Amino acid sequence: MSDSSGFFNEMLEQDGSPRAPYSRIANWLKDKPNSFLSKKSRDAETIFRRLGITFAVYGAEAATERLIPFDPIPRIISASEWRRLSAGIDQRVRALNAFLHDIYHRQEIIRAGRIPADLILQNEAFLPEMAGFTPARKVYSHIIGTDLVRVSENEFYVLEDNTRTPSGVSYMMENRETMMRLFPELFQTHNVAPVERYPENLRQTLESVAPDPAKSEQTIVVLTPGIYNSAYFEHAFLADSMGVELVEGRDLFVDAGKVFMRTTRAPKQVDVIYRRIDDAFLDPLTFNPDSMLGVPGLFDAYRAGNVTICNAPGTGIADDKAIYAYVPDIIEFYTGQKPILNNVPTWNCSREDDLAYVLDNLAEIVVKEVHGSGGYGMLIGPTASKREIAEFRKILENNPSNYIAQPTLALSACPTHVASGIAPRHVDLRPFVLIGDQVRITPGGLTRVALKKGSLVVNSSQGGGTKDTWVLED
C-alpha cells in the first residue's frame, strides 16, 4: 500500500506507518480480507439503489439515473487540520459575500483598481438587475460548497468556490448513514463529528434571512426544476429533511408583489425560496423569456423585499472561474488579512502573456472553461492524447477569454477499495457552509475519489465515486 509515486498519501507516511488520524482504521483494515470490503461495497450499493440515491447523467441514453460509486474506506481529517480549514473557509465566504455586496453597490474594489472593471461588468454571471438591491442581512450566497485539494501535509488549495447551487450535501449525509449501517463498530472507536445537523442548520439559516425574521412561522420552499434534473434526489432530500415543500415553478405564482404556492386549499404565501434552478430560469419576465421552470414576476417580488431567494440571483459572479484568480485580493481587500487558504495559481487566457504560456505548455496543465462545470469542456494536458491537445488548441485560440488554466496538482491520495484490494486513489473535498445570521460549517463534507488508477478526475459525471468524510473531534 505504500506509495512512492510522489503524491501525498492521506493514510500513510513515507515509511509505510499510518498517519495519526488513520492509526485505528489502518489497524482495522490490516486483517480484513478483500472479500470483506467487496461484500460491504455490494451491501452499500443495494442500500443506495433501493433508496433511489441517484443522479441523472445528461445525454446518457437509457441509463438516465445512475448510482455514484461509494467507497467504504473513509477519508479522515484530524481536529487540528479541520480547525485550520474551517477558519480559512469562514474567512473566504465572508469576503465573497462582502465582494458581492460591493459590486452590486459602490464597486469600491473596481475603483481601487484591484479588479478590472470589464471582468465584472462584461461578465455573463454579473446581473445588472441586482444593482442597488440589498438582500436580507446583506447575505448573497447562503449556501456554499468550497472545493479543496491537498498536495502535502500542510498544503490545501481551494480549487473552486461554488457559490450558486452547490450540490452533494445529500451524499455527505447518506454516505454517513450508510457507513453507520455498515460499520457501527468503527464509530465506537472513533470520535467522529456528526453531520446530521445540516438540515436543521440549513433551515435556521433560511429562516434567519426571511424578509421578516421576527415572524413566528416562516414558509420555506425548495424550488426544483423537477424529477428529470440531475440533482433531483438531493432537492427532495433537502425539502424532506427540513420538513418543507418541494416545489416546481408551476406551483408558485406572484400576486400583488407577493409569492404564493398553490395548495389543495387557499394559496399560501412563501417567505424564503431555496432555489435549485439557475438565475436565467428564475423569472421569464426578467430573464430568459422561454423558461418554463421559473415564476413570472418572482424577481419583482424579490426586489420589493417580499421574498428571499437563496442563493441570491447574481451570486455566480463570485465563483466565476475568471474571478477566481482574484479571490486572494478580494480577501485582503475586504478583511485586511492574508488568505488562510491558498488559491491554485491560475492563468487567465484573456491576458496575452498568460495565453502564450498556456499554449506553450498545454501538455502539462489543466485548461477549464470559465462557465463550465462537472468536468465538461476541459483539457487535462498530462493524460490527453496529442490529437486531443491539437483539437483543444484550436478551440482555445478561437475564444481565449472563455478559458483559464492551472498547473496539474499532485492531489493527495486516499486508500480506496478496488478490484485487487486496497490502493491509493486521488481525492478532493467539498465542505458545506451556511451563511445567515452566522456562518455554520458542517464538520465533514463530500470526498470525491477518482476510481481509475492515476486519474485526477473526481467528478461523478465522469465516473468518480464518493467516500464518507470523518472530521475527528479531540
Which residues here bind another protein, judged by CB under 8 A? 49-52, 226-227, 232-233, 236-237, 239-240, 245-248, 250-251, 261-265
Backbone torsions φ then ψ of 111, nearest 5 degrees: -60, -35
What is the closest distance, in whole angstroms, from the C-beta atom of residue 58 to another protein in the complex? Answer: 18
DSSP state of 350: T
Nearer of residues 192 and 239 to another protein, judged by Cβ: 239
Nearer of residues 227 and 390 to another protein, judged by Cβ: 227
User: Is residue 112 classed exposed, middle or buried when 0-12, 13-18 and 19+ CB atoms within 10 A define those classes?
Assistant: exposed
Nearer of residues 155 and 251 to another protein, judged by Cβ: 251
Q: In angstroms, rounded to a whole number, what is the distance separating the alpha carbons of residues 148 and 303?
A: 34
What is the closest distance, in whole angstroms, from the C-beta atom of residue 53 to another protein in the complex? Answer: 10
Q: In angstroms, rounded to a whole number, what is the distance separating the alpha carbons of residues 9 and 416?
A: 11
Nearer of residues 240 and 473 to another protein, judged by Cβ: 240
The one-letter amino acid code at 98 reads A
Nearer of residues 120 and 239 to another protein, judged by Cβ: 239
Cα-trace Rg, the chain: 22
Q: In angstroms, rounded to a whole number, what is the distance separating the alpha carbons of residues 369 and 380?
A: 12
**Where are the alpha helices (H) located in 292-434, listed in sequence order?**
298-303, 321-324, 327-335, 352-360, 386-398
The one-letter amino acid code at 396 reads L
Nearer of residues 50 and 386 to another protein, judged by Cβ: 50
Q: In angstroms, rounded to a whole number, what is the distance separating the alpha carbons of residues 418 and 451?
A: 8
What is the closest distance, in whole angstroms, from the C-beta atom of residue 319 to another protein in the complex? Answer: 28
Nearer of residues 229 and 315 to another protein, judged by Cβ: 229
The one-letter amino acid code at 57 reads V
What is the closest distance, in whole angstroms, from the C-beta atom of residue 26 to another protein in the complex? Answer: 35
Pairing of strands 143-152, 155-162: antiparallel
What is the closest distance, in whole angstroms, from the C-beta atom of residue 213 to another protein in the complex? Answer: 25
* Chain center to CA of 150: 16
What is the closest distance, in whole angstroms, from the C-beta atom of residue 67 to another protein in the complex? Answer: 11
What is the closest distance, in whole angstroms, from the C-beta atom of residue 301 to another protein in the complex? Answer: 19
Q: Which residue has the cell 420555506?
A: 220
Q: In angstroms, rounded to a whole number, what is the distance separating the alpha carbons of residues 254 and 330?
A: 37
